[in-house]
Structure formats: structure tokens, C-alpha cells
A = this chain, B = another copy of it.
Amino acid sequence: MEASGAIIREHGSDAVRSIFAVHRHSPVIDALARTPRILDRARQILGSEVYIHQSRINAMPGMVGTGFGWHSDFETWHAEDGLPAPRTVSLSIALTDNFAFNGGLMLMPGAHRVFVPCVGQTPDDNFRESLQKQKVGVPSDDAVTELGLEYGIEQFTGPAGHALFFDSNSMHASSNNITPYSRANVFLVFNSVENAPAAPYGAAAPRPAHIADRDTTPLTPIHNSEFA
């Protein structure tokens, strides 16, 4: 997987930060995404059949996790992947306990209704750097401040197995993790089949398939998996 670019490491460390396309590599995660308990909720939220635009495990390693700055996923998925509209929802499932203090996801509840224009142009092959530390396609500090003070901040915390759906236009971030408690979550990004990717709206070429899948075949349920 390393050679495919599916593994991203922490800046300044060998620790694994992200692994992409886990639903393609792992039958367990494929079955997880297709269990009706999960799949039917994604279909209900998006109002159509769905497929997986992106899947990943974000491992926020203990002591050295550098976190994720404030951003809306839709900004990148629109500009670099060509998703026409924010008809996309992420599911984060805790693989380890998510505490407030080990890089637990921060969100601004309600702020997904606000579109925050980002400054700058997308450089070619931006994903090679942005998956380690995102520098373009991110909102200004002023925009984050205004939004954060208006909507407030809540964290996704809970023991392993807890899960959260959040809108693709949610403004979210994670602080660093300097505790010994590593935090790992699997993210399944469901996109409506009626929102299939077009040419990127703000980049020269689409990102690789392991980061942004362009196969929009609807997911079919698995009724008798270990997750049912």
C-alpha cells in the first residue's frame, strides 16, 4: 500500500497519519459500509442511492499527532474532485476511545449551512502535500473566528464504536494529540449517485482513485455481515 500512496505519515515522524481506500483493501470495512444499519442512514440523509467517494482511517498517533486545521471537506471535493454539490456525508466511527484531549474532532454545529470561500489557487498535485498539512483550500483565520464565535464548537467524543455523521460542508478540525492515547477513526464518505463527480472545478486534474473514487456504482446492502 505504501507504494500506491495510500498511506500518509505524520509531518516529521514515521507515524501513520492516514490510510486511504480502506473499503477497497479491507473486506471488513467494505461490509461495514454496506451493513443496512449504516448504509440505509446514508441513503436516507442523501435521499438517493449512494456510493463511497472516499474512505480512510485517520490515526492520530499518541504524543506526535499534529492535528488537522479548520476546513470544510466539500471545498476540496468540489475543487479537486469535481463533486458538483455538497450532497455528501461523512461517517466517522471511533476505532479507539475518542477523548476531548487526544485530537477529538471539533465541529461548529450549524455552520455547514454557510459556504466559506477559500483563498488561493490549487497547485498541481496538491494532495501530495495537503494530506499531511493542508495549506490551500482552507478558510482564513478571520472566517474561522467569525464562524466559531457564532456557532460555537462541539467535540465528537465517546468510546470505541461510537459514530458520527457530519455534512461535507461542516467546518471541522482537530487539535494536536500530545497524550499517550492514540486516536484512530475510520471515515466513510458517502456521496449521492445523483452527485457524480465532474471535471474538477478548481484543479488541473482529478486526484487519484484511492483518494477520490470515480466509480459511482451504488452500494448494495449486506444483510448478514458481522455488523448487522
* A binding-site residues for B, Cβ under 8 Å: 62-63, 67, 69-70, 99-101, 103-104, 106, 141, 144-145, 148-149, 153, 155, 173, 175-181
Contacts and interface: CB of A to CB of B under 8 A. Distances in A.
A99 B141 CA distance: 20
A180 B101 contact: no
B144 A63 contact: yes
A153 B179 contact: yes
A152 to B, nearest CB: 9
Nearest to A103: B175
30 contacts: A63-B141, A63-B144, A63-B145, A67-B176, A69-B178, A70-B178, A99-B153, A100-B100, A100-B101, A101-B104, A101-B106, A101-B153, A101-B155, A103-B175, A106-B179, A144-B180, A145-B180, A148-B179, A148-B180, A148-B181, A149-B180, A149-B181, A153-B179, A153-B181, A173-B178, A173-B179, A175-B175, A175-B176, A175-B178, A176-B176
Chain copies in the assembled complex? 2
Given A100-B101, A145-B63, A177 B175 contact: yes
